[in-house]
Every structure is written in C-alpha cells, then in structure tokens.
C-alpha cells in the first residue's frame, strides 16, 4: 500500500528510492498501478505505447502533481503518458521510471573494485536506445548522498522531476531519460546525507561542457575509438627525434574581431588546424604539446585547474572539432601531446570538491587535501574510485582522440607529502616518511595501463626533484614514465646564460653539470611556459648585453640545446625571440618577424629542427652514455665547450663547439674522433640568422694527424663570438 509520506517525499524531492514509488508497480490483487510526478500538469492520461490509444485517465493523488492510475494488467505494448499543461500545450512522454537499471552487473563489479578501465563508457551521460526508445542514460558516483537528481533544460532545472536510482553496490546513481539527446544541458542536484541540497554539480564524466562562466554539462557523442598506430609508436620511440612545440591555444595567434580589448578572438579547432599545424610542420617540430585543454573555469589558470577532465574546452568549439584537429596533426606527421593534471583541482562550487556532501574526491584533512600554493584541492589517490576516474581519463584521451601522449603536470607535488609545507603542516605516510605512497602506486598503475592498452603512446613527467627512476619501467622499480623533464638542466643553463660573459668562466660547471646525470633518466630538455611568466622575462630578455648580444646569446643557447643529449621542448614565441613576457590574454607578437633579427632566430630554429630530425647522431642515442663524448669541458677561461654526438652506427657523428664569450677564437684546435673532413652544418653566427658571419673558412675542416684533447686527430676552427657550431664528419 502506497503511503502518504512516500508521496510527499516524491513531491518535495527528498525520496531516496524513487523507483519504489514511481513507474509501474504490481498490486496484491494482480492489477498494476502506474504513478508519475508531473508538477503543474492539468490532466494526465495513460496511452498505449505502440498505437497511442487511450488506456486510462490518471487520478491526481496529491496537489503538487502526483498522479496514479490502476490498470487491470500491464499493457502488452507498454504505455506512454499524455499530458495537458495549464497553458494549453499537450504532449506525450515516455516514463523514465518504467525502465530497468542502467548499469550491468559486470560494470557494477568493476566500478566497485576500481578496475573499470573505461569508466567513461558507463558513467556520465551516454546517448542510448532502451527498449526501442532513444534517450540518454545518466550515471554519477555519489555514494554518501541521500538523494541525487538529474536537472536540466528538459525539466526546468527542477530537482524533484528526475530523481535517480542508487546502485548501492558501487555507490552510483543512475537514470535513463527518454527523448533526451545531444546538446541537452544538465547537472546533478545532490542532497547530502543530512538532507541539505548542495550547489548543483557538473558531471565529472561530461564529454562536453558549457563555456565559462556557464557551468552546465552537455550531452555529447562519445568519440569513436582511434586505432593504435605503429607509425605513431615509432615516432614516439626513445631513439626517435622528438622536438616539441609547447602551445597555449588561446594565445598562440588570435583573429581580429573588433573587440574593445583589441586582443581579438580565439581560433576554433578548424582554424587552429589550418594555421598551427602547418606552421609546426614547416618549422620542423615533431610534436605539439598543448597546455591543458580539459574544461576549466578560470582562463588565468591556463588550463591547469580543470574541472571537466573528460571535456575538451568549449573555448575552441565542440569535441568533434578536436577530433578533426588531432587527425590533421597526424596527417601532417605531427604527434600530439596533452598536458594532463591529476595533481589538483579547483574549489569551484560546481566542481568535485565536497561532491556528495563529503570529501569524496579529495583528502578530508587539509594537510593532505589542500594545496596552499595554488588554493586547490588534492585528489585522494588512496580511493580506488578516484584512481579509476583519473586513469580512465588518461586512457580516454589516448584511445578516443588518438593523442600520442600525456605530459603529467606537477608530479613532484604529488610524490611528496611535505611538498611546499612547513613542519607540522603535513601528515607522514604509514612508515613515517614523506613519500606519498598512494601517488606512487597510482602513477605506476597509470603507466602500466597506458603501456598495455595503448603501447603506441608515451607519458612524460614534469618532476623537479631527484626522485629516482621516474622514467624507468615499473618492473625495474621505476615509476614507468617514458620521459622526464630535466628541470635541473634548464635551471642551471639559464642561470649561466643570464650572466655577463665576463663572469661565465667562474660558473662553467652550470653548463657541464647536466652531463653528470644525463643518462640516469630519459630526459626532455624543457624551455617551457613557466620560464617566460611571473616576472622571469622572455627568453630573449634573459640574455645579457646589448641588443645584438642578446640575440647572439639566444641563438648560441638554442644551438647548445639541440646538440645536448635529450629530447627538446620549446614554448611558443621562443622560436622567434618574443621580447615581452607571455600573456595568456593576447596573441604572440608575430609582427616581430618583420625585424630581421627575430626572423633570423626563427630561421635558426627551423634549420636546427630539420638538421636534428635528419641526423641520427643527434637523437638516436639520447639516453645512452655511448652517444655522448666530451672533447673539451675544462676551458672555462675562454668559456668554450666541445663535444661529440654519436649515432647508432659507429661511423656517424656530429662535433658541437660552443663559444660563450663575445670574442672570436681563431685557430682554436679541437680533437676529433676520426680522420677525414668535418663539414659545418650549423653556425648560429651566420648572417642568415642575424649574426656576424664569423666562421671556419669554406665551412669545412680537414682532420690533421695532430693529437689533441686525447684524440689522435684534430681540426683548427675559427669559433665565432657567442655562437654554437656543428660539424658533421665525412669519411
């Protein structure tokens, strides 16, 4: 017997088990009672689902809009609901409460144990057809909520209309809503265990989200699987060339639109494909790396404070536009890496914080769950469901969009419980140590899943400490990343380059120290966005001296970087000597390319990239000690460095010599590994790049049988000022 308090709870939106009241229910006498809640409905009828024939008028049992009809038996073809509204409009609806559960037993099992590799195929909003009726199934993890409802345009954002069913085995609330399709805006209204309604939440698994400041999720198609690619696997291999162009899409290049701020509008995905991809291809970059493109509420976070981890940001169009962008990258032979942020998330009211009235996604104790540096929350990686959410997300980008890799942000902040915390502000691990054991386990698991499920993809760690074996396999005791950013190399070498050349001889080790540990990890040499913001100045303006010397120093540094072991990464604008700091709210200063000096830097980067890609000695043994050999690292007085890069073949090598003083060194003798001729392939002082055009006559040097630098042969070179030269050996 239906009780009045059940009706009242339905009408007030507080019933925790709506399926026990609404929809069809067998009665003791064999009849079937059908109950619906339709606030403000004037008249409600049951009609045959197949023919539309009238079956029975429903009786209003409660003034708020609760209707009931009792049928002799369940209609053979099912039923629908015909509604007349007070404004005279009428319509026929499918009853969501006549449909069975959304989740399968297997899904429940896998979600419950945290081993559902692709939870996005089950949770969130998925357009499906159930019993011949098209609609959308909704599912959200909120195990501690008293009640959860789907709200949206389709029910006037009324949390009473569509309360969900709780699958207690895994803490997921679910509901199939007929006739809801792509483009529908929605959120979840969650009532906490104490009964109060929380701020409405965006769907953690939403495949598309509204443009800020709006915060709703949007029903969207799940992108089709992109097959794994042997060609992409080869392009991402440790012995392949990798020169990465790091890009913030909103400020790479904007389109004038007459806006008041004069900064123009963002390009959409197709415009970026038409402009950014050919540019990167022409410049010779092998990969693009995008600052985070998951939906984020605050432009000033550059995407590093995401909420919609499964939603490509709507700033550049819909998710299908991103599908096309990735395809265009691959068609041009460009790999695509995404910055991925499992380290933290913002506190915005529609996000993951305190999601179901409890600390569901984040640690409860702020000593574990809050980043003081960024005012963000920290994922509780001790919860299997949270790990499942994040690992599934990484796999989603790799499989459903076909991206080539994930660069994991702020790994150091994840690995250490005392990261940026004073004594007493952090909680030791179970062994009393500072390492975050849950994070270590999570990162290993994530890298193992990627390795098995998407072997053509790579993962890269931004990790700034000496944590061991970051880029070593998990079976060998490592974290399992393919690559690690070499933050130490970046800090040391930039500190050196910022010094007046007269003082560099006293800091020579800043340029050589990186080779002490260069082969302990698979390193990427990063000149990233972090080096050109927050008062650090542009790359050009880090360099000392007058204008000519600034450009010469910058060119010499880029030459050194491309000769040094390790993959390369350069932030946008650095390739042409952007003069001001990067500003995420406006375009790069492309007009600077009208200046020959800026154009010269761009030409150099293009030539360095193409030489690098076509010269195995510069990349094939990046992570093998035998691929590098010092010739001269002790000439601090003249600030000269000389070294050899060896390829996989014993008869391939490149000799790189750097002069970091503004004085030319004529007749500088350099020991070389082989007899024969050495042909100049790059001279960063070339007039072609804006230099003074000093160099070895005819750009060639023949080895003489004069022992030098511990070698049986040597060459005489004229070293240009503030420059790097590269010579390829020819037998």
Q: Cβ(103)–Cβ(167) under 8 Å?
A: yes
The reported pLDDT for the residue numbered 4 is 86
- pLDDT tens, position by position, 365-392: 999 999 988 999 999 999 999 999 999 9
Least Cα distance to 163 among 10, 33, 39, 59 occurs for 10
Smallest CA-to-CA distance from 487 within 539, 538, 531, 553 is with 531
Residue 568's nearest CA partner among 233, 232, 245 is 245
User: Minimal CA–CA distance to 519: which of 562, 553, 489?
Assistant: 489
Band (519; pLDDT cuts 50, 70, 90): very high
Q: What's the average model confidence in pLDDT over 240-263?
A: 89
Res. 587: pLDDT tops 70: yes
Answer yes or no: 368 catalytic. Answer: no
Does the structure show a pLDDT above 90 at 75? no
Q: In the structure encoding, which two tokens stand for residue 116, read together?
A: 């559902």
The one catalytic residue in 95, 356, 409, 607 is 409
Q: How confident is the model at residue 590 (pLDDT cuts 50, 70, 90)?
A: very high
Residues 263, 258: Cα–Cα separation, whole Å = 9
CA atoms of 655 and 631, how far apart (whole Å): 9
- Alpha helices, H only, 13-142: 105-113
Note if 409 is an active site residue: yes
Residue 612 has pLDDT above 90, yes or no: yes
pLDDT of residue 74: 81
Residue 624 · residue 637 · CB < 8 Å: no
**pLDDT beyond 80 at 258:** no
Q: What is the CA radius of gyration of the chain?
A: 31
| pLDDT at res. 1 | 67
DSSP secondary structure string, 166-202? EETTTTEEEEEEET--TT-EEEEEEE-TTSPBPPPB-
What is the rounded average pLDDT of the residues 39-48? 91
DSSP state letter for 566: S
Phi-psi region of 637 (alpha: psi -120 to 50; beta: other; left: phi over 0): alpha
Provide the pairing of β-strand 308-312 with 458-461: unpaired
CA–CA gap between residue 599 and residue 597 (Å, rounded)? 5
pLDDT for position 173: 97
SS3 533: coil
Largest CA distance in the chain: 109
CA atoms within 13 A on the CB side of 40: 11
Q: Please write down the HEC assignment for all residues of 361-385.
A: CECCCHHHHEECCCCEECECCCCHH
Q: Which of 223, 65, 276 is nearest to 156 (CA)?
A: 65
Degrees to nearest 5, angle at CA 614 with 245 and 517:
65
Check whether 76 has a pLDDT greater than 80. Answer: no
pLDDT at 77: 73
Closest CA relative to residue 503, chosen from 642, 637, 640:
637
Residue 689 to residue 11: CA distance in whole angstroms: 75
Q: Which are the contacts of 135, defined by CB distance < 8 A and separation ≥ 6?
A: 94, 127, 128, 129, 176, 177, 178, 179, 180, 181
**CB neighbourhood size of 327 (10 A):** 15
CA distances from 276 to 93, 281, 333, 603 (A): 47, 9, 13, 17
CA angle at residue 470 from 469 to 473, to 5 degrees? 70
Flag whether pLDDT at 625 surpasses 90. yes
Residue 599 CB burial class (10 angstroms; 0-12, 13-18, ≥19): middle
Among 23-37, 70-84, 304-318, 405-419, whose mean pLDDT is lowest? 70-84
292 secondary structure, DSSP code: P
Q: Which candidate in 339, 368, 404, 462 is catalytic?
A: 462
Distance between CA atoms of 13 and 161, rounded to whole angstroms? 8
Mean pLDDT value across residues 65-71: 91
CA distances from 107 to 144, 167, 168 (A): 20, 11, 13
What local confidence, expressed as pLDDT, does residue 674 receive?
Answer: 93
Which domains does the chain show, CATH number per domain? 4-94 (2.60.40.10), 105-218 (2.60.40.10), 240-616 (3.20.20.80), 624-730 (2.60.40.1180)
Query: Around 698, how many Cα atoms within 13 Å sit in the side-chain half-sphere?
Result: 6
Residue 600 to residue 556: CA distance in whole angstroms: 13
SS3 29: coil
Query: Tokens 């230099």 identify what position?
Result: 691
- Residue 420 CA to residue 375 CA, distance in Å, equals 12
pLDDT of residue 235 exceeding 70, the answer is: yes
Q: Closest by alpha carbon to 352, among 294, 408, 287? A: 294
Average pLDDT taken over every residue of the chain: 94
Q: Does residue 213 have a cis bond before it (omega within 30 degrees)?
A: yes
Taking a C-beta distance cutoff of 8 angstroms, is the pair 535, 583 a contact?
A: no
Residues in the chain: 731
Beta strands in 1-52 (DSSP E): 23-26, 32-37, 43-48
Give the number of other Cβ atoms within 10 Å of residue 626's Cβ.
Answer: 10
649, pLDDT greater than 90: no
Nearest to 722 by CA among 685, 670, 669: 685
If pLDDT is split at 50, 70 and 90, which confidence band does 538 have?
very high
Asked whether 304 and 292 are in contact (CB, 8 A), the reply is yes
Interval 650-683: pLDDT, tens? 778 999 999 999 999 999 999 999 999 999 999 9
Residue owning tokens 């590093």? 304
What pLDDT is attached to residue 187?
A: 98
209 has pLDDT over 90: yes
Q: Is the pLDDT of residue 621 over 90?
A: yes
Q: At what angle do helices 596-613 and 269-283 cross, to 10 degrees?
A: 80
Terminal C-alpha separation, the chain: 96
pTM of the entire predicted model: 0.94
- pLDDT at position 152: 97
How far, in Å, CA of 688 to CA of 604, rounded? 8
β-pairing, 405-408 vs 567-571, is: unpaired
Q: What is the pLDDT of residue 600?
A: 98
Residue 201: phi and psi, rounded to 5, are: -110, 140
Helix (H, G, I), strand (E, B) or coil at 142: coil
Total Cβ atoms within 10 A of residue 381: 21
Place of tokens 């960024």: 374
Residue 563 has pLDDT above 90, yes or no: yes
């Amino acid at each position: 017997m239906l009780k009045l308090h059940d009706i009242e709870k339905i009408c007030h939106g507080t019933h925790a088990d709506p399926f026990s009241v609404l929809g069809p229910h067998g009665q003791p006498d064999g009849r079937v009672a059908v109950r619906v809640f339709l606030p403000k409905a004037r008249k409600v009828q049951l009609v045959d689902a197949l023919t539309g024939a009238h079956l029975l008028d429903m009786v209003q049992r409660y003034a708020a809009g609760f209707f009931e009809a009792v049928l002799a038996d369940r209609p053979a073809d099912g039923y629908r609901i015909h509604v007349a509204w007070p404004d005279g409009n009428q319509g026929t609806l499918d009853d969501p409460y006549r449909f069975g559960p959304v989740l399968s037993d297997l899904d429940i099992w896998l979600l419950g144990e945290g081993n559902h590799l692709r939870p996005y195929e089950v949770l969130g909003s998925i357009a499906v057809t159930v019993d011949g009726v098209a609609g959308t199934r909704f599912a959200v993890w909120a195990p501690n909520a008293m009640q959860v409802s789907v709200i949206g345009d389709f029910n006037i954002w009324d949390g009473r209309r569509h309360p969900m069913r709780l699958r207690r085995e895994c803490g997921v609330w679910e509901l199939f809503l007929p006739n809801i399709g792509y483009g529908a805006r929605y959120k979840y209204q969650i009532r906490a265990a104490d009964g109060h309604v929380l701020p409405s939440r965006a769907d953690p698994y939403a495949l598309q989200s509204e443009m800020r400041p709006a915060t709703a999720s949007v029903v969207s198609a799940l992108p089709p699987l992109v097959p794994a690619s042997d060609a992409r696997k080869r392009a991402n291999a440790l012995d392949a060339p990798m020169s990465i162009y790091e890009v913030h899409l909103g400020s790479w290049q904007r389109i004038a639109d007459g806006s008041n701020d004069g900064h123009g509008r963002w390009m959409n995905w197709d415009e970026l494909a038409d402009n950014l991809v050919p540019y990167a291809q022409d410049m010779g970059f092998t990969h693009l790396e995008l600052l985070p493109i998951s939906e984020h509420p605050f432009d000033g976070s550059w995407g590093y404070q995401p909420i919609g981890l499964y939603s490509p940001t709507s700033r550049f169009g819909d998710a299908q536009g991103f599908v096309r962008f990735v395809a265009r990258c691959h068609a041009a032979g460009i790999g695509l890496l995404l910055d991925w942020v499992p380290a933290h998330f913002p506190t915005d009211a529609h996000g993951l914080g305190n999601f179901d009235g409890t600390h569901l996604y984040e640690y409860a104790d702020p000593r574990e769950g809050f980043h003081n540096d960024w005012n963000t929350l920290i994922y509780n990686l001790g919860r299997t469901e949270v790990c499942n959410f994040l690992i599934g997300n990484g796999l989603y980008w790799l499989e459903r969009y076909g991206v080539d890799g994930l660069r994991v942000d702020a790994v150091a902040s994840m690995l250490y419980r005392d990261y940026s915390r004073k004594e007493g502000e952090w909680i030791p691990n179970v062994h009393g140590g500072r390492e975050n054991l849950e994070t270590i386990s999570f990162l290993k698991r994530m890298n193992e899943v990627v390795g098995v499920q998407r072997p053509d993809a790579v993962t890269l760690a931004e990790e700034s400490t000496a944590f061991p074996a970051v880029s070593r396999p998990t079976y060998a005791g490592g974290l399992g990343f393919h690559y690690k950013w070499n933050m130490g190399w970046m800090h040391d070498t930039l500190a050196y380059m910022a010094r007046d050349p007269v003082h560099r001889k006293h800091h020579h080790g800043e340029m050589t120290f990186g080779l002490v540990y260069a082969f302990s990890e698979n390193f990427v040499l990063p000149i990233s966005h972090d080096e050109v913001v927050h008062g650090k100045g542009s790359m050009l303006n880090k360099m000392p001296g007058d204008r000519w010397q600034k450009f010469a120093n910058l060119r010499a540094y880029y030459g050194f970087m491309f000769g040094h072991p390790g993959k390369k990464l350069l932030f946008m604008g650095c390739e042409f000597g952007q003069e001001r700091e990067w500003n995420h709210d406006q375009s790069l200063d492309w007009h600077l390319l009208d200046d020959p000096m800026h154009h010269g830097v761009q030409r150099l980067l293009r030539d360095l990239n193409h030489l690098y890609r076509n010269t195995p000695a510069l990349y094939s043994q990046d992570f093998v000690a035998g691929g590098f050999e010092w010739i001269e690292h002790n000439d601090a007085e003249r600030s000269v460095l000389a070294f050899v890069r060896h390829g996989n073949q014993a008869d391939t090598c490149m000799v790189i010599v750097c002069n970091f003083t503004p004085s030319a060194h004529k007749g500088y003798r350099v020991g070389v590994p082989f007899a024969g001729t050495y042909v100049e392939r790059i001279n960063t002082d070339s007039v072609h790049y804006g230099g003074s055009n000093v160099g070895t006559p005819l750009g060639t040097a023949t080895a003489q049988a004069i022992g030098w630098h511990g070698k049986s042969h040597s060459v005489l070179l004229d070293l240009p000022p503030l420059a790097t030269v590269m010579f390829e050996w020819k037998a």
